[in-house]
Amino acid sequence: MPARVEHLVEVFGRLMAIKSECSSEIFSECGLADLTVTQVAYLKAIDEHHDVTFSRLAEITSNSKPTVTEMIDRFVRMECAYRQRCPDDGRVTYIRLTEKGRMIANAEQNALHRMIERIMQNLDEDEVDLLLRVLRKVG
């Protein structure tokens, strides 16, 4: 592998590691450092689909309703979610995220912001402008 390609792999690998560190920091701040990818995916699905019910979340995640109920029970114990009865139909229960649950659901985006803050702390204004010009060329 040519040296330039190897160097790019190394640099981008480090950037991805920084983003991963930022995500881990967010999970730790929530007191939930051992979350699984599946749990995060559930929280993201709840966050993205407003007024989501247990049945609807089972459809979205391609799981059974008992599996969804078990996961939501776990989230309630973790203080990431809660149940809310529909004011118009008491038979319907919505799954809502707490602030902690929303923070985890948006951890990827928040980690990206933290990573960018780190980059900007280490670059001067001209270097940030140069980085933006270079990245616009590839994206």
Q: What is the pTM of this model?
A: 0.74
Q: Buried b / exposed e across 3-41, counting CB within 10 Å, b at 16+?
A: eeeeeeeeeeeeeeebbeebbeebbeebebeebeeebbe
pLDDT tens digits, 104-129? 999 889 899 999 999 999 999 999 99
- Mean of the per-residue pLDDT values of the chain: 91
Domain layout of the chain by residue ranges: 1-33+106-139, 35-101
Pick from 4-18, 20-34, 115-129: least confident: 20-34
Kindly list the distances between the CA atom of residue 32 and the CA atoms of 3, 41, 79, in Å, as whole numbers in the listed order. 40, 15, 10
The CATH class of 35-101 is mainly alpha
Q: Is there a contact between 114 and 25 (Cβ–Cβ < 8 Å)?
A: yes
H or E segment to which residue 96 belongs: strand 93-97
Q: End-to-end distance of the chain based on CA atoms, in angstroms?
A: 24
| Total Cβ atoms within 10 A of residue 118 | 15
pLDDT tens digits, 59-100? 999 999 999 999 999 999 999 999 999 988 889 999 999 999
